[in-house]
């Protein structure tokens, strides 16, 4: 790996720096390298299938793993790039991103209009993950990201006064705990993407994006208040 020190105003866009791209970029590179390595081994030994125990031609084992590696490790190097992107046209349309992730949330809340207290009871979420490479981990990401969104909706607030953060610790900066966690129902949708490994997409950020407005929309529906900020605090509901 080579680190290039350059002026970001003078180089092209590398796409999003978000963590979710790693599923597609790192995973895509690993997949492409693996396929290339397989093809190289098959060509070298005259086979048509690579299995766990070696190279096969039809149903006949013609080279074991030990024989494949008898001259040392077999290597294959690839450079993987996401599909080319372009600036939007005059209507704001075009291939401006390599791909898109779609996520949806529905929230159920209990509100005490006299005290201004809110309890998020349930959140339902559905997300297109392209291909579920690790289904259990995906559900964990959807649940955890949703809880982050709930925190932003009803409790997390950084208090800054004249440039000084007044709640710099978790004693004063509130985050949701297990006690605050609502019931989360997840639905994983698999619509394969056009360039990720096996069609996989990133999943990490999306649950935190749409869960917050879903909770606020539910509070609006319950109270009739025109809420325009987060977190929604008791004074926003009772009108202080």
Mean pLDDT confidence for 212-231? 96
Domains located in the chain, CATH noted: 16-93 (no CATH), 103-238 (3.30.365.10)
Contacts of 41 by beta carbon, 8 Å cutoff, 6+ apart = 47, 50, 55, 68, 74
Contacts of 175 by beta carbon, 8 Å cutoff, 6+ apart = 151, 155, 156
Among 173, 186, 177, smallest CA distance to 120 is for 177
Per-residue confidence at 139, pLDDT binned at 50, 70, 90? very high
Average pLDDT of the chain is 91
Per-residue confidence at 197, pLDDT binned at 50, 70, 90? very high
The whole-angstrom separation of Cα 200 and Cα 193 is 6
pLDDT exceeds cutoff 80 at 235: yes
Q: What are phi and psi of 117, to 5 degrees?
A: -95, 145
Report residue 105 CA to chain centroid gap: 15
Contacts of 170 by beta carbon, 8 Å cutoff, 6+ apart = none
Q: 3-state DSSP call for residue 180?
A: helix
Q: Give the residues across from 127 on adjacent strands.
A: 103, 188
- Angle between helix 206-223 and 135-154 (nearest 10): 40
Question: How many C-beta neighbours within 10 Å does residue 120 have?
Answer: 27
Mean pLDDT confidence for 198-213? 92
For tokens 């590696």, the residue is 69
Q: Quote the DSSP letter at residue 182.
A: P
Per-residue confidence at 136, pLDDT binned at 50, 70, 90? very high
The whole-angstrom separation of Cα 151 and Cα 79 is 40
Lowest mean pLDDT among 4-13, 60-69, 96-105, 206-215: 4-13
pLDDT exceeds cutoff 60 at 1: no
Mean pLDDT confidence for 145-157? 96
pTM comes to 0.82
pLDDT exceeds cutoff 80 at 2: no
């Amino acid at each position: 790996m080579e680190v290039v020190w350059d002026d970001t105003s003078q180089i092209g866009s590398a796409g999003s720096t978000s963590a979710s791209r790693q599923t597609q970029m790192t995973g895509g590179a690993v997949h492409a390298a693996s396929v290339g390595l397989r093809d190289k081994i098959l060509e070298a030994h005259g086979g048509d299938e690579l299995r766990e125990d070696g190279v096969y031609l039809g149903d006949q084992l013609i080279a074991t793993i030990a024989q494949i590696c008898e001259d040392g490790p077999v290597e294959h190097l690839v450079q993987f790039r996401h599909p080319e992107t372009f600036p939007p046209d005059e209507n704001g349309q075009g291939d401006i991103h390599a791909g898109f992730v779609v996520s949806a949330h529905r929230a159920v809340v209990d509100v005490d209009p006299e005290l201004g207290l809110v309890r998020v009871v349930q959140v339902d979420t559905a997300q297109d993950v392209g291909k579920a490479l690790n289904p259990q981990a995906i559900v964990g990401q959807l649940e955890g990201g949703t809880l982050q969104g709930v925190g932003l909706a009803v409790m997390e607030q950084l208090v800054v006064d004249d440039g000084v953060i007044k709640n710099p610790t978790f004693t004063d900066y509130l985050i949701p705990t297990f006690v605050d966690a609502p019931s989360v129902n997840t639905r994983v949708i698999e619509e394969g993407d056009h360039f990720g490994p096996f069609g996989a997409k990133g999943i990490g950020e999306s649950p935190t994006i749409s869960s917050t407005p879903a909770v606020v929309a539910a509070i609006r529906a319950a109270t009739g208040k025109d809420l325009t900020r987060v977190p929604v605090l008791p004074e926003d509901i009772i009108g202080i």
